[in-house]
Amino acid sequence: MTTKAKRSKAHKLAGRQMSGADMILQVIADEGVDTVFGYSGGAILPTYDAVFRYNASHPKSKQIRLVVPANEQGAGFMAAGYARASGKVGVFMVTSGPGATNCVTPIRDCMADSVPVVLICGQVPRSAIGSDAFQEAPVYNIMSACAKHVFLCAKEDELEQTVRTAFAIARSGRPGPVVIDVPKDVQNHVGAFKGEGLLRFRGYEKRLAALESSRLGKAECADFYHRLAECKRPLIYAGGGVIVSGASAALRAFSEQLGIPVVTTLTGIGSVDTSSELSIHMLGMHGTAYANYAVEDCDFLLAVGARFDDRVAGKVDEFASNARHIAHIDIDAAEIGKVKKVDWAHVGDARQALEALREAGKGFKTDFFPWLKHVGRLKKKHTLNYNRKSERIQPQQVLETLSELTNGEAIVCTGVGQHQMWAAQFFQFHRPRSWITSGSMGTMGFGLPAAIGAQLACPGRTVIDVDGDGSLRMNLGEIETLSTYDVPVKLLLLNNLGDGMVRQWQHLYFGERFSGTDKSLHKKDFVKAAEADGIGFVKRLSDKSQIRRVLKAFVSHEGPAFLEVMIDRDAHVYPMVGPGLGYREMNTGEFITPRTPKQPPSEEPEEKDMTKIPELF
């Protein structure tokens, strides 16, 4: 493997003798890292010592903050929350063996949601690798299946370039997690610091150069608008790639210029302002009924940074079945046509592509007003709803009220389960990177550590972790991290005494056989646990009449706060598109109005004047 020097001024420390551990710290500092999450241990001790010495030799404004979690998985999710909220590369650092293997889930989670993080693992000395030494694990083999790239740094003279290259790979192209496995003797080796240089990966560099030079030409734009001109009911389907690529502003401008409404995936929430008239909110298994109906009704679908996930597409053949044209913009060529066949596609940066389409469409003349009017009727008639008359606390009311109190400006993190879907449905989001959740992996225990990372990345924002009792248990130890570092995260626990989403499936599809999901016999007192960990504001809410008053006090508390709300354990998440079903079989529950099934529209008559029909089907 060769190295490639950067064309820049010589680093001020070039030529200085340093240990490998000191080189790691210097490179991550040069990369702009201000926070490292991690747990120490024998094989990574030299680098932790380097953190101490680096900070001792720098003023506080230039030090690297070290946040020690309860366990390594927590460190990984903190780094992920930091990266998702800031758009920068998150960094976590752990020891060998169990320290590294505890990070497999965060690495896979970041890979699935295209989150740029760098994990630095200690490893046993090179001479001991393969001998089943104490706390040895085959990190390269394990992580290779989960990460964007994995380095085993076996050559001490390549350590500096390896760390620098890891950051370049993590943030470039389709972002993702990169793992560096560093033997202890490589950390201790002393050599000259170069201050520059990257490792060469010619195939990756060639693909990356092609992506960076990929632009929508006049002919491609003309083809796009030729197809759009044939249609009357266009819809944009925006995924997490819109946020990852920084394309939210471009998407909003494009949507507003042409008057095209937008549905988003779970990870695409925030790419458009949810309060906008053009926002139809989330689609898919637990998307809004009106979003799913709009997908059924559209005759042109533009997917941007989305991958037709099974929780979105359902029955693939029936997804957007009335669309005459399906277009797809994505930075990853592997996603084009992987699930759903499309007839117009562009592989490249979403922001640049949307800006090119917007520029090319300035002279495009068509009237989508009847379609927008129809979409408005869908939103009004099939709006989200729940049991507002129940004497028990409904989780939807709690989140609806909390959204009002924070005015759509909070960063909301979640665990995984019913609470995650209710939060996605009932919170408003005006800005991108304000919704942080485990999308593709659906990892329980994600919410609290991710919220800590997000709060440290965005100290001026209100950060709320919406969690469930099952999900919170998985990383409950991180409550202590809140108090240890005085991180002012607001932890909202919606407690239904069970694994709510699994119980919902057992209720609907398994004859109410609640195997393994009933937590009513558990003795955990979350309030006492939060008090024991030193949280200043700790309350339990079980009186429906006190929801607004208690939530207001909870949000306004200056430091970390914990609020447990005892919710109706029979509350379900609706709408729901059941497993193996399509949107036409969507279950809207008791309180959301479904539409009456009708025959599919003919090709021409209904397109001419949609204002005269209350529903398309």
Could you give the residue numbers annotated as active site? 72, 134-135, 184, 501
Q: Which parts of 71-140 are beta strand (E)?
A: 90-94, 117-123
Q: Note the helical H segments in 361-392.
A: 369-381
How many alpha carbons lie under 13 Å from residue 524 in its C-beta half-sphere? 17
Distance separating the N- and C-terminal Cα atoms of the chain: 61
Q: 283 Cβ partners below 8 Å, 6+ apart? A: 237, 263, 264, 265, 291, 292, 294, 295, 312
Tokens of 482: 């809140």
Task: State how far the Cα of 427 lies from the Cα of 435, in Å rounded to an integer.
Answer: 9
225 Cβ contact list (under 8 Å, min separation 6): 360, 361, 364
575 preceded by a cis bond (ω within 30 of 0): yes
| CA nearest neighbour of 353 among 253, 270, 274, 235 | 253
Buried/exposed code over 399-436 (b: 16+ C-beta within 10 A; e: otherwise): bbbbbeebebebbbbbbbbbbbbbbbbbbbbeebbbbb
Sign of CA dihedral 462, 563, 514, 477: positive
Which class for 615: exposed (0-12), middle (13-18), buried (19 or more C-beta within 10 A)?
A: middle
Strand partners, 90: 117
Query: HSE on the CB side for 178, CA within 13 Å?
Result: 23
- Residues 465, 448 contacting (CB under 8 angstroms): yes
C-alpha distances in Å from residue 137, one per residue of 59, 78, 142, 152, 309: 37, 23, 8, 12, 33
Partners of 566 in the β-ladder: 495
What does each C-alpha distance from 490 to 340, 400, 407 come to in angstroms? 40, 16, 16
- Between CA 492 and CA 467 the distance in angstroms is 6
Phi–psi pair at 551, nearest 5 degrees: -65, -40
